[in-house]
Amino acid sequence: MPKYQNIGIVHNGGLAAAGELARAIADQHSVGRTWWLSTQSELPGQSSKLAESDLIITIGGDGTILRGAHSAASRDIPVLGINMGRVGFMSEVENEDALDQVEWYLDGNARLEKRFMIKAIISTSKGVTDPIMALNDVTVARGATLRVIEVTTVVDGVHLATYRGDGVVVSTATGSTGYSLALGGPVMDPTSRDFLVKPIASHMSQFGGAILQSSSKVQLVVDAYEDVALNVDGFLDRTLSSGEKVTITQDGDYVSFLRRKPPADFWGYLSTRLEIRKGSGDTR
C-alpha cells in the first residue's frame, strides 16, 4: 500500500489541545507530504482540499470523527481517528500516543475497515428530499414539547409496531455503541451491514430492538400534534411534520477506517471502554 501523501487533519475547534496536536503532527511529518488543517465547523468549505486528499485524520471525540467521516465517505478517503474524547469507540489512537504512532499509519501499514452507513429519504407533501447519510444513527424524536408522539414503523412492507413515546432510533452497527446502547440496545459487530430499530422511552422501552438484515427497508411515519425532530449523527437536524415519512435503507455506502489490530480486538476494547468485568479471561 502506498504511503499517504496528501493529508487533511480535522480537529475539534473547541479544544485548544486538539489544534496544537494537529499542528505538531503536520510539522513532525512534513517531509514529502502535503498537509491542510481545518476545524470541524470549517470543514464544509474545504471541498477543493478534500478532492486532493488521500487520508483524513480527525482529532477530537466521536462527534469530530463523524463530521470528518461524512466528508471522507463520498470521496472514498480513509479516516484515522485520534481520540481526545471520553469514550471514542470509532477512534484508533489515543492523543497522548499520536506523535509516536501516527507515522506507522502514514507509511501504509494499516488495514482498511469498512463501516457501513444508512441512507434516509424524507417524503413530504412537496415530494422527496435528497438522501441523508448516517454513519451512527437516524433519530425521529419529539421536540421541546413534553408530549408523546407516535411513530408507525414498517419493515419491508410489514407493520412492525406503532411506538408511542419519545421516538425511534435507527442505528447502524457502528452506531450500536452510541445512543442505541444508552437505550438498552445490543452491540453489533461493527463491520456488519445490518442495522437496528430501537424505540425511545415507549411502553416497549425494554424491548431490545429489532436487528434487520442489510437489504431491509424501514419506513417511519410520524403522528404528532407538534412538529418533531429528525437528527442524523448528532449534528444534522431537520423538522418533521405529522404524516411525513422517513425511509431508511442500507445501500452499501461506507467509511473506511485505518486499523492496526485484528477485527476481533473490538470486543476487548468494548469491555475496557464500558468497564465490563471479564474475570480471569481463561477461555479453556
The mean of the pLDDT values for the chain is 91
**Is residue 280 very low, low, confident or very high in pLDDT (cuts 50, 70, 90)?**
low
Note the pLDDT of residue 23. Answer: 98
Give me the domains of the chain, ranges plus CATH numbers.
6-115+254-274 (3.40.50.10330), 118-249 (2.60.200.30)
- The confidence score (pLDDT) of residue 273 equals 76
167, 141 Cβ separation under 8 angstroms:
yes
State how far the Cα of 92 lies from the Cα of 129, in Å rounded to an integer.
34
What would the grid cell of residue 22 be? Answer: 494537529
Q: Which of 54, 62, 76, 227 is catalytic?
A: 62
How, if at all, do strands 132-134 and 118-124 pair?
A: antiparallel
Question: Quick one: pLDDT at residue 1?
Answer: 47
Residue 107 annotated as catalytic: no
3-state SS assignment for residue 44: helix
pLDDT tens, position by position, 227-270: 899 999 999 999 999 999 999 999 999 999 999 999 988 888 88
Helix (H) or strand (E) holding 230: strand 228-232
Model confidence at 208, pLDDT cuts 50, 70, 90, reads low
> What predicted TM-score, i.e. pTM, was given to this entire model?
0.91
pLDDT digits (tens, 9 = 90+) for 50-96: 999 999 999 999 999 999 999 999 899 999 999 997 777 899 999 99
What's residue 212's pLDDT? 97
Residue 143: the pLDDT is: 76
Is residue 16 predicted with pLDDT exceeding 80? yes
